[in-house]
Chain A
Amino acid sequence: METQHFSYDNKIVKYFAYATILWGVVGMLVGLLAALQLAFPIFNFKLAYTTFGRIRPIHTNAVIFAFVGNGIFAAVYYSLQRLLKARMFSDKLSWVHFWGWQAIIVSAAITFVLGITTSKEYAELEWPIDIAITIIWVVFGWNMFGTILRRRADHLYVSIWFYIATFVTVAVLHIGNSIEIPYSWLHSYPVYAGVQDALVQWWYGHNAVAFFLTTPYLGLMYYFLPKAANRPVYSYRLSIIHFWALVFLYIWAGPHHLLYTALPDWAQSLGVVFSIMLIAPSWGGMFNGLLTLRGAWDKVRDNATLKFMVVAVTAYGMSTFEGPMMSLKWVNSLTHYTDWNIAHVHIGALGWNGFLTFGMLYYLFPKMWKTKLYSEKLANAHFWIGTLGIIFYALPLYWGAIVQTLMWKEFTPDGLLAYPNFLETITQILPMYHVRILGGLLYFVGLFLMVYNLLKTAASGKCADNEEASAPALVTSSKRARGEGLHRWLERRPVQFMVLATIAILIGGAFEIIPTYLVKSNIPTIESVKPYTPLELEGRDIYIREGCNTCHTQMIRPFRSETERYGEYSKAGELVYNHPHLWGSKRTGPDLAREGVPGGKMYKTNVWHYNHLLDPQKMNAQSIMPAYPWLIKDDLDTSNTSAKIRAMIKLGVPYDKAPYPANYDLVAHDDMKKQAEEISADLKKNGVEVASEKEIIAVIAYLQRLGRDISVKE
């Protein structure tokens, strides 16, 4: 067998590693700002660009797609080459991938600051960037598959199974959830509405957690943990079973984000049971990781990389037990919409993703720069400060969540809500928000120590951009050898492997999403539900632009404690014209689904909304809502109204049927003007002079429409 000489591309790994660090710093700094804003509204700076509704998606996207994203690519480019004994397929593709991904991140940050967003969580980017993501993701997959096909190692290691599953599933999810109709160069409406949009969104959202934050990081763990510990993987068989179980089951669990909502019961139940069935496959990964350390625990004591990895894998185990528990309906009735979710995802993000990334970086830098870590002591300090940070972040939020949810649900002996004023339940847990800032700060200090340590490490060595290697050429056969296990054979057949993985991940989604479209009884029609007026539609788009759905849900669950507070529970048939749905996932403020029902429990006058949006603290000194003074200053942009109406008609909203006149897209402006003048006149009557062209008029129009169509009290 001839020995072939080649080199590993270390330069691309180096760049991805630096990008991971840079975006980690940025993402966590923005997270700190968001935490400050929730405790002290003054940190919103009364500026459109810096309000919480726009800052929060920057934080989540930066951490997920910039920090963890680059971490994934650093891990894949480093481990894939070595596991396959081959250089990356194409340096050109590698660099297109790297710079393309960074350009997407920068454009994401810019568009979010400008309020250009689709509102769908972790998929907030607008359509041109969605297309760019698709292209760059294909470049990544092409490069990866090219490398796999040119490999010199016959079998694919378990890390690569996870990388393949990640590639195909993220592609399917991203494209499936981003099908939208553009109405301008930077804006679009999703083709899905209401319940269907929510289901597709959480099929995506849940599996972004599964296939962006979990599977690639399991691949990362399977490479770097045995490497750093210099120990064999505990059980090959466990790897096989937990891999296939995980990728098949994960896809089904999305509806657990929508328990007790207007989603049909059968879909909710599937979300519950598939989440429960995920416990063992998830723990399979945790135990294969932890048991790999058998006989190496003495190394953990004085090796920072391993310490980080042990806590990361433990956090993974905690999160993947907690998640299924939160998917039980009675637990969910307490935890949903509260800070429990925030604490839960931070155990995952700070513990699992963050610590695993840190562990990997502490391993990679000395390896690639051919030197020793600058300071093992600093790395240990980072470990302890970071761990404390996680504890100080999560515990107060868990505590606050319990306090708040019990306050929401408490009734007096007279049968009345014990805390009818939503604000009381926020004021009560505000101290917890303060402690959380401390937790975030500690974690950030730890990160800072790492940056210093790694830069010093790099300075003390030299990174060989091309690392020489050699391996015999691959001799393989597509036939199954005698005595070769089926899976062992499959590990040599990457194309078949990918096809099987694709089938496994398509089944669950198809089973849940298709019937929700085809079976009429899932979304019963309600005759009185009508499309939004053009002004309300414009107001809704401002609501989306400002990210109001970040703190205000629009989905009243069928509980006495919610219907007493907000009004009638939300129904599927009410939401058929909502492109996109705006159910939200967290109640930092009250639910707004019935905000516009005259005589309803949530109803406020136009003047109230005006004053409240202008300066919430003036109405309630304790309020943590940001002020929106620019809504009063800025004129409503109506240049896209006609295009919006046309897009809605394409999506099946009946602006083209009676009672709407023909060419309603053009007539719409008259309707809009008339409604705006009515609101402006009402405000004037109550002592507020504001021109009917201002944005706030549209926002008020939208708020006053919410939940109105099925109200009986008109």
Chain B
Amino acid sequence: MEKKDKFLEENEHLMSDHDYDGIRELNNPMPTWWRYLFYATIVFSAVYMFRYHVFGDDLQIEEYNKEMALAEANKPKPTFDENSLVLMTDATNIAAGKAIFDKNCVACHATLGEGNAIGPNLTDDYWLNGGSLNDVYKIIKEGKPLKGMLAWQNQLSPEQMLQVSSYVMSLHGTNPPNAKAAEGELYKPEK
């Protein structure tokens, strides 16, 4: 060897007599911190199994039920009676309704509510599911999934649904170009 290998000299006392194709092995002890890490994970495991499967801490379904109950308790209630709605007419709420409409509804009812291949015209006198504010609110809220209308209560708050319902009502009689042919029944508002 060209020069002495200081490392090997220092470790000579730890050298085993093993020799595999020139590979030697040292008899260093296992690092202490490594041993304690291993013990700690074993203790963690024992505690974990006892906690959930002996002492009965919440498993995933209990955990879920609690999460749902908490969400239900915190859910904002509608500030109005959903059975006798009052049309919103102020500019702020109508503008908010329009924003919701533009984001969610135009794919099927077109930009001006004139309808397209998927959804009906919302501006004429004919309605598939009734034309009162309560009817419109209900169909927005609960949808008609089999016909392709989503239930928006999963995505919009009661207030937002009322805003967009009111906006839809405001479209009545606007006679947009390219309006889809009438579908459903003629609806005459009760005076």
Contact = CB atoms under 8 A, between A and B. Distances in A.
B45 A420 contact: no
B128 interface: no
Nearest to A558: B64
A515 B38 CA distance: 28
Interface in B129-159: 143, 145-148, 151, 154-157
A605 B23 contact: no
Nearest to A415: B75
Contact of A272 (B8, B48, B143, B145): B48
A603 B145 contact: yes
Interface string B80-119: 0000000000000000000000000000000000000100
Interface-centre pick from B34, B44, B68 (highest chain A CB count, 10 A): B34
A245 interface: yes
A532 to B, nearest CB: 21
A268 B53 CA distance: 11
Contacts, number: 153
A532 B29 CA distance: 60
B156 to A, nearest CB: 7
B191 to A, nearest CB: 35
B74 interface: yes
B145 A295 contact: no
A284 B29 CA distance: 12
Nearest to B27: A236
Contact of B53 (A153, A266, A276): A266
Given A232-B11, A601-B154, A223 B146 contact: no
Contacts of A153: 20
Interface in A540-585: 558-560, 563-564, 569
A555 B153 CA distance: 24
Interface-centre pick from A232, A274, A598, A608 (highest chain B CB count, 10 A): A232
A376 B143 CA distance: 68
Interface in A586-629: 598-601, 603-605, 607-608
Nearest to A227: B23
Nearest to B31: A287
A227 B19 CA distance: 12
A417 B156 CA distance: 9
Contacts of A280: 34, 37-38, 41
B67 interface: yes
A296 B5 CA distance: 10
Contacts of B8: 232, 295
A155 interface: yes
Contact of B37 (A236, A283, A415): A283
B173 interface: no
Nearest to A601: B154
A558 B63 contact: yes
Contacts of B145: 598-600, 603
A558 B67 CA distance: 10
A260 interface: yes
Nearest to A157: B20
A276 B44 contact: yes
B19 to A, nearest CB: 9
A22 B23 CA distance: 30
A294 B5 CA distance: 12
Contacts of A296: 7
Contacts of B160: 414
B67 A265 contact: no
Contact of A232 (B15, B29, B53, B156): B15
B60 A260 contact: yes
Interface string B59-74: 1110110011001001
Given A260-B60, A564-B154, A269 B41 contact: no
B22 interface: yes
Contact of B147 (A281, A284, A294, A605): A605
A226 B24 CA distance: 8
Contacts of B156: 416
A468 to B, nearest CB: 15
A273 B25 contact: no
Contacts of A291: 28
B146 A237 contact: no
B76 interface: yes
Interface in A214-270: 223, 226-227, 231-239, 241, 245, 260, 265-266, 268-270
B174 interface: no
Given A269-B53, A560-B67, A600-B145, A277 B60 contact: no
B186 interface: no
B146 A420 contact: no
Contacts of B155: 416-417, 420
B147 A560 contact: no
Contacts of A283: 34, 37
A283 B5 CA distance: 28
Nearest to B154: A601
A83 interface: yes
A273 B117 CA distance: 55
Interface in A130-186: 153, 155, 157
A483 interface: no
Contacts of B143: 599
A286 to B, nearest CB: 10
A234 B60 contact: no
B23 A223 contact: yes
B30 A279 contact: no
A232 B19 CA distance: 9
A659 interface: no
Contacts of A411: 71
A83 B18 CA distance: 12
B65 to A, nearest CB: 9
14 contacts: A79-B21, A231-B7, A232-B24, A236-B26, A238-B31, A273-B48, A280-B38, A281-B38, A284-B30, A284-B34, A295-B7, A414-B75, A563-B68, A599-B151
Interface of A: 79, 82-83, 85, 153, 155, 157, 223, 226-227, 231-239, 241, 245, 260, 265-266, 268-270, 272-274, 276-277, 279-281, 283-284, 287, 291, 294-296, 329, 411-417, 420, 558-560, 563-564, 569, 598-601, 603-605, 607-608, 687
Given A233-B23, A291-B28, 12 more contacts: A157-B18, A157-B23, A227-B23, A236-B25, A245-B38, A265-B60, A273-B48, A414-B75, A414-B160, A415-B71, A563-B64, A603-B145
Listed from nearest, the 7 A-B pairs whose CB atoms lie closest are A295-B7, A273-B45, A280-B38, A558-B64, A414-B157, A232-B24, A235-B28
